[in-house]
Amino acid sequence: MNAPLTLEGVLRPAAADQAAAAAAPWAADFPILARPVRARRLAYLDNGATTQKPQGVIQALADFYEQSNANIHRGVHWLSQHATDLYEQARSRVAGLLNAPNSQDVIFVRGTTEAINLVAQTWGQSLAPGDEILVTDMEHHSNIVPWQLLCARTGAVLRHARVTDSGEIDLDDFRSCLNARTRLVALAHVSNALGTVNPVAEITRLAREAGALVLVDGAQAVAHAPVDVQALDCDFYAFSGHKIYGPTGIGALYVRASILQKLAPWQGGGDMIHTVSFEGSTWAEGPQRFEAGTPNIAGAVALGAAIDYVQSIGLPVIAAHESALLAEATERMLALPGVRLVGTARHKAGILSFLVDGIHPHDLGTILDTEGVAIRAGHHCAMPLMARFGIPGTARASLALYNTQADIDALVAGVRKAQKLFGV
Ligand code: PMP
């Protein structure tokens, strides 16, 4: 296959890949895809919001509670040690997924949002008035609001680099925003609202020249192409398990080891301490210092199963499949009268944000729903980006490995139906 090997690769599928996109043998692994919705075949195109779960992940959750459940890191008994082993194996799986140098560089969290808040509330404590954090206009609210809260606490300043009309970071503007006061650059690897794949390695190089750290929001990236935190040379990388076929309520934050060692804890409680006395407490080493209380053990184990699942298919194969489908969907949607894409970057992952003349995105979403087609409509938690484009929102179809040509057929037919109903 003429596949893009990384997110930064050129997303130009060969004809053979386009044909392969017609069939996605993996759809059969996802029980929910077999259930009719509104008496129609379900075309699930809301994967940017959350992905469906393969049987192996559902089974891993059930197996954990049936066979392995106990609390971790504190039991002397066999089951507790067994559950601890499974939890720590899942941490290694995450490290493998991100090519982190060591599993101890990975902190389990609830998801991307919690990961970013963790960085804001730990590393961010060191900020002084006048220090700057630089984001881009295409960030999800979870990569804006935690920094606003931090700036309100510390007197630091939040800056934002512009996005071009095609939905790429304006690198000239980005460079002009970087300066000696920039302490952190925080950006999405892939935009959830536009599908843009950002040139993270290049951004990291520029940030490093300015002496800033880099946090990457990988929520829309990890399930769609190989990610390598060492090649990206970033300091923090956050993602959510539920967007990579794992359960909700579990995600991970990679932190460069030299930074993690120095980070102060954020939540206090059991499991994150070394010793506790009324005179003062000392903290656990490594990621445990940031995992106070009983974590989502079953969720972590099932996330490990989800990672095994995507790796058994191969992320380059998934990337090629989705890129072929995206190319087809883009071509066919643009062939419809009155359809406009929002986000036409040169490098895109499987997200198609669009507007249809004369139909509000919410109405479009509702009509597509009656056809069994699940898309998202609205601002996609990226209100500053919508303001940048002067629109209240878009309709968004977002792809996953189980999507097929039949899903694209259903999307296109649904849009045609909406246009007929609205007489546009
Ligand atoms: N960043 C991006 C780019 C996202 O798409 C999302 C989820 N839509 C988030 C962050 C937040 O993820 P979560 O709600 O799982 O914390």
Query: Can you tell me the distance from the alpha carbon of 45 to that of 154, in angstroms, rounded to the nearest whole number?
Result: 41
Strands of the sheet containing 351-356, edge to edge, are 339-341, 351-356, 394-398, 376-378
Residue 111 in contact with ligand 1 by CB distance below 6 A: yes
Average pLDDT over residues 355-365: 97
Which pLDDT score is estimated for 239? Answer: 98
- Beta-carbon contacts of residue 317 (< 8 Å; ≥ 6 apart): 1, 3
Which two tokens mark 180? 């000696």
Residue 344 in contact with ligand 1 by CB distance below 6 A: no
Which pLDDT score is estimated for 308? Answer: 98
The catalytic position among 151, 177, 234, 381 is 381
User: What is the Å distance from ligand 1's center to 79 Cα?
Assistant: 34
DSSP 222-257: TTTS---HHHHT-SEEEEEGGGGTS-TT-EEEEE-H
Query: Can you tell me the distance from the alpha carbon of 133 to that of 61, in angstroms, rounded to the nearest whole number?
Result: 39
Q: Which tens digit of pLDDT belongs to each residue from 249-258?
A: 999 999 999 9
Q: Out of 46, 194, 220, give the residue to mutate to test ligand 1, the one with the largest number of ligand atoms within 8 Å of its CB.
A: 220
User: What is the Å distance from ligand 1's center to 14 Cα?
Assistant: 31
- The topology under which CATH files domain 58-311 is Aspartate Aminotransferase; domain 2 (3.40.640)
Residue of 203, 207, 159, 190 whose CA lies nearest to 349? 190
Q: Which tens digit of pLDDT belongs to each residue from 399-419?
A: 999 999 999 999 999 999 999
Residue 198 in contact with ligand 1 by CB distance below 6 A: no
Q: Which tens digit of pLDDT belongs to each residue from 275-303?
A: 999 999 999 999 999 999 999 999 999 99
Q: Which tens digit of pLDDT belongs to each residue from 68-112?
A: 999 999 779 999 999 999 999 999 999 999 999 999 999 999 999
Residue of 216, 222, 217 whose CA lies nearest to 241? 222
- pLDDT higher than 60, residue 18: no
Which two tokens mark 210? 């300015």
Q: Which tens digit of pLDDT belongs to each residue from 114-153?
A: 999 999 999 999 999 999 999 999 999 999 999 999 999 9
pTM for the model stands at 0.95
- pLDDT higher than 90, residue 231: yes
For ligand 1, atom 5, name the residue with the nearest CA. 192
Please give the number of the atom of ligand 1 that sits closest to the Cα of 139.
3
Which pLDDT score is estimated for 2? Answer: 34
The beta strands (E) that lie in 301-398 are given as 339-341, 351-356, 373-374, 376-378, 394-398
For ligand 1, atom 8, name the residue with the nearest CA. 49
Classify domain 7-52+314-422 by CATH number.
3.90.1150.10
For ligand 1, atom 6, name the residue with the nearest CA. 219
- pLDDT higher than 90, residue 17: no
Q: How confident is the model at residue 10 (pLDDT cuts 50, 70, 90)?
A: very low
Residue 142 in contact with ligand 1 by CB distance below 6 A: yes
Q: How confident is the model at residue 22 (pLDDT cuts 50, 70, 90)?
A: low
Catalytic (active site) residue 234: no
Q: How confident is the model at residue 23 (pLDDT cuts 50, 70, 90)?
A: low
Please give the number of the atom of ligand 1 that sits closest to the Cα of 251.
15
- pLDDT higher than 50, residue 12: no
User: What is the Å distance from ligand 1's center to 74 Cα?
Assistant: 32
Residue of 257, 401, 416, 392 whose CA lies nearest to 333? 416
Residue 319 in contact with ligand 1 by CB distance below 6 A: no
Neighbouring C-alpha atoms within 13 Å toward the C-beta of 110: 10
Residue 376 in contact with ligand 1 by CB distance below 6 A: no
Residue of 138, 141, 180 whose CA lies nearest to 160? 138
Contact present, 354 and 395 (Cβ < 8 Å): yes
Average pLDDT over residues 343-363: 97
Residue 398 in contact with ligand 1 by CB distance below 6 A: no
State the first-to-last Cα distance of the chain, in angstroms, to the nearest integer. 40
Residue 116 in contact with ligand 1 by CB distance below 6 A: no
* CATH fold match for the domains 7-52+314-422 and 58-311: no
Name the percent of the chain lying above pLDDT 70.
95
Domain boundaries, the chain: 7-52+314-422, 58-311
Distance from the Cα of residue 175 to its chain's centroid: 25
* Mean pLDDT, the chain, integer: 94
DSSP 162: -
Which two tokens mark 153? 């606490």
User: What is the Å distance from ligand 1's center to 241 Cα?
Assistant: 10
Q: Which tens digit of pLDDT belongs to each residue from 323-341?
A: 999 999 999 999 999 999 9
Which pLDDT score is estimated for 4? Answer: 37
Query: Can you tell me the distance from the alpha carbon of 351 to that of 225, in angstroms, rounded to the nearest whole number?
Result: 13
Query: Can you tell me the distance from the alpha carbon of 33 to that of 407, in angstroms, rounded to the nearest whole number?
Result: 11
- pLDDT higher than 50, residue 11: no
Contact present, 133 and 158 (Cβ < 8 Å): yes
Q: Out of 47, 50, 51, 142, give the residue to mutate to test ligand 1, the one with the largest number of ligand atoms within 8 Å of its CB.
A: 142
Please give the number of the atom of ligand 1 that sits closest to the Cα of 248.
15
Q: Which tens digit of pLDDT belongs to each residue from 367-376?
A: 999 999 999 9
Residue 289 in contact with ligand 1 by CB distance below 6 A: no
Query: Can you tell me the distance from the alpha carbon of 339 to that of 166, in angstroms, rounded to the nearest whole number?
Result: 16
Query: Can you tell me the distance from the alpha carbon of 296 to that of 300, in angstroms, rounded to the nearest whole number?
Result: 6
